[in-house]
Structure formats: C-alpha cells, structure tokens
Amino acid sequence: MLIGKNSIKIENDVSRLRQEEQPPLAVFSFNPISSHLFKVNVTISKQVIDILYKETVLLFRKKNLDGFGQNSAPVEYIEENYDGEVNKRIKSYVFRHVIVDFLFKELISRKMPFANYPRLIHVTTTEDNVLIFSFDLSLTESIELKEWKNFAFKTPKRKRYKDLDKQVLQFVDQNTCLSKRVNSSMVEEDDWVCFSSTLLDQNMVAVVPTITSCFWTKIKKNEISNKFKTSLIGKSLGESFISSDFYFEDDTDYYENLNHPFSITIKAIVKGRFLSLDLFKQNFKLKNKAEIHNKMMEVFSFRNDISQRRTIIEEIFNLLLAKHRFEVPKHLILRRQEDILATLMHQPDYHVYKSQKDFLKYVELLAEKDLKEETIIDQIAYKENIAVSIEDIQFYLNLLSNKRIREFTYFKPSTEKIEDMDAPINHGMLAHTILREKTLNYIIHMLTH
C-alpha cells in the first residue's frame, strides 16, 4: 500500500505543478568576459525541472530495478539510488528539446553576430533546483557597411558548350516528370522530414505543454533498423501519432525499453528524389523558363574544376572583403581550426593531407577565410532584416538532396555532411545556417540584376 500511495502522491504533485501559474520556460542572460568573449546563461525554472523530475521518476518505476518488479520500486528508493540517472535524462532532454532552439532563436532575434558555434561549458543545478546551461560565445566586431548594393560586379562567364544546355534541359524534364509521379504529401525514403515533438506522461498528456520542439531528419534507405525513422515512412503531412522510439540521448543498454512517449506531428516534407522547380523559381526570383535555365547552368558549367556558381560566390566575397577591411582575432581562428581538423579527421584522405608540408597553414587560412565570410554575411543579414521561414529551409534541403545541383548550397551547419547524421537536427540550428545562405542569395541577386 505504501508503494501505491507514493505513486498516487507523485502523480498528484505533477498535476498540481502543472496547474500553477507557468513561469517563462527559459531565461536568457548575456555577460561580457572580454572584448570578444561572452558568457551566455540559459536558465530553466524550478517549476519545469520539478515536473520533469517527478515524471522521470515515474518512468523509472516501469523498469525492473534491483529486484523490484515493474511499477513496484518505491519512489523514495528511486530518488535516493537513481538520482544521477534521472537528472542525466532531464539535462539531455532539456538541452535537445529546449536549449538549442531557444539559444539560436535568441541570438538571431537579438542580432548578435557570433563566430563559431556557442560552446557549452557546464550545466549547473542550483540548491533551489534551477537548471542553468552556460555557454561561451565569441562575437565578431561590428562593421560599418558601405553601400554594397552599388558595387560594380560582372558575372563570370559560363562555358559555351551546347552539350551543357542539353544536360540542363534533360535535368529539368526529368524533375518535372518525377514531381508528377511522387506524392509530395507523404513521407518516403530519401525525404527530409520536419516534425514537432511533445513529451507525454504515462496518461498520454503533455508533461510541459509549453515545450514543443521542432526537428529535421533525413530518411535514408539503409536505416530501416531505426524504428523511429521507419515509423515516419508513409505518414502524411499534418499527421500526428505517438511514438516511444524517439530517443533524445545516446542509446545504452540501461535505457533500453525505458523511453518517454512523444506526440509527433509531421510539419513539412522535402522530397529527396527530385528538385522542386517551384521552390527553385520562387527562391531565386526567376520569372520564366529561360531564367531557370540560366540559373541552373551555374552548377552545370565548370572551368578548371570550379563551377560558375562557386566562381560567382568567390568573386562576390573578394569584392565585399576588399571594400570592408577587418581582421579576425587569432583565438577565433584557432577555434575554427579545431573544428576544421575535427571534420578532416573523418575523411579517408586525411593522412595524405596531413603529410603535406603546409597543411596546417592551409587550415589556418581556410579558418580565417570562413570567419571573414560569415562575419560580413551576418552583418548584412541583420542590417537588411532578413528572416528565415520553413519554406527557406525546405528549399535548402531540397537543393542539398540532389547531388547534381547541391553546389547551390554554400554554408553548412556544424556537421559537414548533415544528410548522413543519424540524430535529428534542431530547427534552430538549421535556421541559423539558412539565414546565411538566404543572405548570400540575396546579395548575389542584388549585384547581378
């Protein structure tokens, strides 16, 4: 009877906490450490943590623990002996489902141009059960932008091979036919899927109704063993379902069959098997078939192994950076070098690159180049009040899904090959990357028309 009373009591406590007046889900604070380095704290209130803690304890009772059967371990026993494991799950959930999107949303809305991704330094639980995530954030210097829209720019010429025009015509025809045969409102293999997720309790009621997260994931052919991604196949746009296969932390034997249920809703579907010509025309501001053809030619025409598109981008950055002279602090370059090296280490030819005499010097120059380009792009994005919609993200991922035209994408999220990621990607992280991509397309449009 004692066990039953404990279970009823904790469920009543959760219900009472939900009915109390809801405080802000997260609070953002921003404190300077030096001229470029700042500390960002994102604080999650005691009320939210208390609800999550009690709900996670109830979840732990469902597992056979230390000789106790399912739903038979006393609450006090779990709180005393599994406090560390319970808190680990809470921190993991809060980070993936609240912190990441909240942080990027705040940085963009406050127009804070930062170099490199925010680095999580530590997570602190205060005595009154408030959870604080602390990040180091490096801001770039403010640049006084000139009237860049009036800069003279001449578009690099394309290769004049008739075969290239035939290739473009064939590519457009193929994608037109594919678009007519594919159901754009149903999830299939090779698609990108945007879905919202809401954590549910054992009665299938939202644990914290204000926490609804948004993720993107790629459905790859070789991932049939992934239960959650498999469950997305065949779902329709707008469809909702409940899943206990959506993990939010590294899977371990200990947590097998110990998963929270989530309410999942399909928010957007990006077809991976064909290019959406409607999105292509809309996002590049094209008026007719001739303009579509000319734009497409940018990634079909190569000179010295470099596409016309990439040449345009490089020359635009050369122009912008020649007109705006500034230096990037050394410590920012060193941090970016670390990120580049971490990516290169996973490449098959890494040891060949590393053996080159000036390898590290090239990495340093690349880091500096990336940071300068991102700095000028961020400044223009905020100056022009450019905003990102879910349609912008759909367009970016649609381009990325097609090997023949992915050259149209320039900026990448923190992971180099996002289509190979197993874990879903936070909407906020993608939105920040696409803000830069959309700004670059805006600059190209303004300087070439």
Instruction: Name which of 1-15, 145-159, 356-370 the model is least confident about.
Output: 1-15
The 10 Å Cβ neighbour count of residue 69 is 10
| Whether residue 309 sits in one domain with residue 243 | no
**Residue 169 forms part of a structural domain:** yes
**Residue 341 forms part of a structural domain:** yes
| Whether residue 164 sits in one domain with residue 307 | yes
| Whether residue 152 sits in one domain with residue 246 | no
β-pair partners for 176: none
| Whether residue 261 sits in one domain with residue 204 | yes
Contacting residues for 396 by C-beta, under 8 A, at least 6 apart: 409, 430, 433, 434, 437
**Residue 371 forms part of a structural domain:** yes
DSSP 8-state code for residue 95? I
Give the mean pLDDT of the chain.
Answer: 88
Residue type, 137: L
What predicted TM-score, i.e. pTM, was given to this entire model? 0.89
CATH at residue 90: 3.30.70.1050
The 10 Å Cβ neighbour count of residue 261 is 19
**Residue 187 forms part of a structural domain:** no
How many structural domains compose the chain?
3
Query: What pLDDT shows up at residue 251?
Result: 46
- CA 4/CA 164 separation, integer angstroms: 74
- CA 19/CA 420 separation, integer angstroms: 42
Residues 161/209, Cβ–Cβ less than 8 Å: no
| Whether residue 394 sits in one domain with residue 293 | yes
**Which of 244, 270, 296 represents a domain boundary (last residue)?**
270
User: Looking at the predicted structure, is the pLDDT value of residue 5 above 50?
Assistant: no
| Whether residue 255 sits in one domain with residue 315 | no
Q: Which domain holds residue 302?
A: 148-181+276-448
Query: What pLDDT shows up at residue 412?
Result: 87
The 10 Å Cβ neighbour count of residue 434 is 22
**Which of 270, 295, 324 represents a domain boundary (last residue)?**
270
| Whether residue 156 sits in one domain with residue 102 | no
User: Looking at the predicted structure, is the pLDDT value of residue 180 above 80?
Assistant: yes
- For the segment 268-289, what is each residue's pLDDT rounded down to a tens digit? 999 998 999 999 999 999 999 9
pLDDT classification of 132: cutoffs 50, 70, 90? very high
| Whether residue 392 sits in one domain with residue 294 | yes
| Whether residue 173 sits in one domain with residue 258 | no
**Residue 248 forms part of a structural domain:** yes
Average pLDDT score over residue span 83-90: 91
Compute the residue count for the chain. Answer: 449
Greatest pairwise CA separation for the chain in angstroms:
84
- For the segment 58-79, what is each residue's pLDDT rounded down to a tens digit? 988 887 777 787 777 888 988 9
| Whether residue 160 sits in one domain with residue 94 | no
| Whether residue 294 sits in one domain with residue 153 | yes
CATH at residue 215: 3.10.50
Residues 393/194, Cβ–Cβ less than 8 Å: yes
| Whether residue 6 sits in one domain with residue 43 | yes
**Residue 374 forms part of a structural domain:** yes
**Residue 186 forms part of a structural domain:** no
The residue among 85, 184, 376 whose CA lies nearest residue 77 is 85
